[in-house]
Amino acid sequence: MKIENLKLKIGIICYPSVGGSGIVATNLGKALAALGHEVHFISYDRPFGLDVKKPNLFFHQVSINEYPLFKYPDYTLPLTETILMVHQRYTLDVVHVHYAVPHATAALFAKRILATGGAVPPKIVTTLHGTDITLLAQDPNLFTVIKYSIERSDGVTAVSHSLKSDTISTLQTDKPIEVIHNFYTPEKITQSPSAIRKKLKISDDDFLAIHLSNLRPVKRIPDLLQIAKLMKGRKNFKLLILAGGDFAQFRPLVKKYGIAKSLAVLENIADIGSYINASDIGLYTSETESFGMGILETMAYGKPVLATRAGGIPEVLRDGADGYLFPVGSTTGFAKKLAELMANPDLTAALGRSAASHAREKFSSGAIVRQYLEFYCHSCDKRTN
Ligand code: GMT
């Protein structure tokens, strides 16, 4: 059967928050539903941006009851129960879990319970996103459970070759892992660059660098602020941080560096496209990054990126073509290149055009969603041609 004619029932288990893995999972589910597959999201909250009034989209909330006996409320068991309930009602072909724990663990437990009862269970596909391996699998409290959950999944994907090799070396596993990169489709721009700059109280001539992240330690926000400090002599350099976390912890450093006038911070912005579109360049200083969704988003709106040569970032951003890569912590390298690009708007624009076409060609929704569908079929033993 041709993949175009196949209609699957797919459960998607993800974190609902504004965060890399949750956004990728939500966009994947939405794209699958638009292709006619029936998609059931299972999480503790409705994923950000999910409109369940759209055809083929369902959301099943995991409800967690608190009992005085339990000091720590458990999520894995109610999640398992919800997977069972959804499968019993809709007969899923695949449960696609994003993030190894506890999602894959719960899905495997549900599968085992179904098989024991004689039912045909769904296939479990696990997508590794990064910190599930680079952070959590380092924890002896979680290592064995993560290794088991990955090895017993029917299919495993990783969002970059870098994460695949981190997984193999961390878990010492020979489980086959398919690399399927993340994707991003730019949204329609709803606010003009001038309108955004007016809001930010910066002029149309200012050189605006943008950073999007959850501000966790791995993002090395102090490096970003250090770069702004090194650029202080250039009055028209501005830095905008779209923060998916609380920036208050960094205010003392902003004060110490005397960079408050060149910095704008906005929290939990949904319309990221308009802000990226109003910027000149992206800045990403992460210690490590399995992929770097913020980088891809910035590129997709036609902006070049300066980033660290860490983890999977070089798989997304081509050094010298879409921007430039620097060693982790090389704040002077970043600042020197920023100054060069500020003086050369033609080069900045050319790098941005290259970034946009690379994002479109290599990380388009159409190509990546098809790879997932083929992978589901392969894991379900459904033949396609
Ligand atoms: O660190 C984050 O940004 C959150 C984290 C997550 O699980 O939501 O992101 C990870 O998954 C993203 C989507 O696949 C990747 O783009 C990020 O690179 C990855 N984060 C890290 O590896 C630190």
**What spacing in Å lies between the alpha carbon of 160 and ligand 1's midpoint?**
11
Q: According to the model, what pLDDT value does residue 18 have?
A: 62
**What spacing in Å lies between the alpha carbon of 94 and ligand 1's midpoint?**
23
**Is the bond leading into 222 cis (omega within 30 degrees of zero)?**
no
Residues 158 and 232 in one domain: no
| Interval 284-302: pLDDT, tens | 999 999 999 999 999 999 9
Residues 203 and 109 in one domain: no
Q: Which two tokens stand for residue 107?
A: 């899905």
182 lines ligand 1 (CB under 6 A): yes
| Interval 147-202: pLDDT, tens | 999 999 999 999 999 999 999 999 999 999 999 999 999 999 999 999 999 999 99
| Interval 298-352: pLDDT, tens | 999 999 999 999 999 999 999 999 999 999 999 999 999 999 999 999 999 999 9
Q: According to the model, what pLDDT value does residue 17 have?
A: 76
Q: According to the model, what pLDDT value does residue 384 have?
A: 45
The CATH number covering residue 302 comes to 3.40.50.2000
Ligand 1: nearest atom to the Cα of 293:
16
Residues 240 and 170 in one domain: no
Global pTM exceeds 0.85: yes
Query: Is the pLDDT score of 385 beyond 50?
Result: no
Q: Which two tokens stand for residue 323?
A: 């921007």
Q: Residue 200: phi, psi to the nearest 5?
A: -80, -5
**What spacing in Å lies between the alpha carbon of 28 and ligand 1's midpoint?**
16
Q: According to the model, what pLDDT value does residue 383 have?
A: 44
Residue 385 lies in a domain: no
Residue 26 lies in a domain: yes
Residues 207 and 143 in one domain: no
Residue 248 lies in a domain: yes
| Interval 203-227: pLDDT, tens | 999 999 999 999 999 999 999 999 9
Q: Residue 230: phi, psi to the nearest 5?
A: -65, -20
Is the sign of the CA dihedral 109, 115, 116, 117 positive or negative?
Answer: positive
Residue 188 lies in a domain: no
**Would you give the end-to-end CA distance of the chain in angstroms?**
6
Residue 55 lies in a domain: yes
Residues 358 and 218 in one domain: yes
Domain that holds residue 95: 3-183+364-380
Residue 140 lies in a domain: yes
Residues 94 and 211 in one domain: no
Residue nearest to atom 23 of ligand 1 (CA): 289
Residues 199 and 230 in one domain: yes
Query: Is the pLDDT score of 382 beyond 60?
Result: no
Report the residue among 97, 129, 164 best suited for mutation to probe ligand 1: largest number of ligand atoms under 8 A from its CB. 129
Structural domains of the chain, count: 2
Give whole-number Cα distances, 10 to 1, 55, 372, in Å. Answer: 18, 14, 11
Residues 175 and 224 in one domain: no
Q: Which two tokens stand for residue 63?
A: 């409800």
Residues 95 and 17 in one domain: yes
| Interval 226-272: pLDDT, tens | 999 999 999 999 999 999 999 999 999 999 999 999 999 999 898 99
Q: Which two tokens stand for residue 200?
A: 């930010």
Residues 154 and 214 in one domain: no
Report the residue among 182, 293, 317 best suited for mutation to probe ligand 1: largest number of ligand atoms under 8 A from its CB. 293
Residues 221 and 370 in one domain: no
Q: Residue 46: CB partners within 8 Å, gap ≥ 6?
A: 16, 52, 59, 61
Residues 238 and 146 in one domain: no
Q: According to the model, what pLDDT value does residue 40 have?
A: 98
CA distance 289 to 212: 13
Give whole-number Cα distances, 107 to 92, 95, 158, 210, in Å. Answer: 12, 7, 18, 38
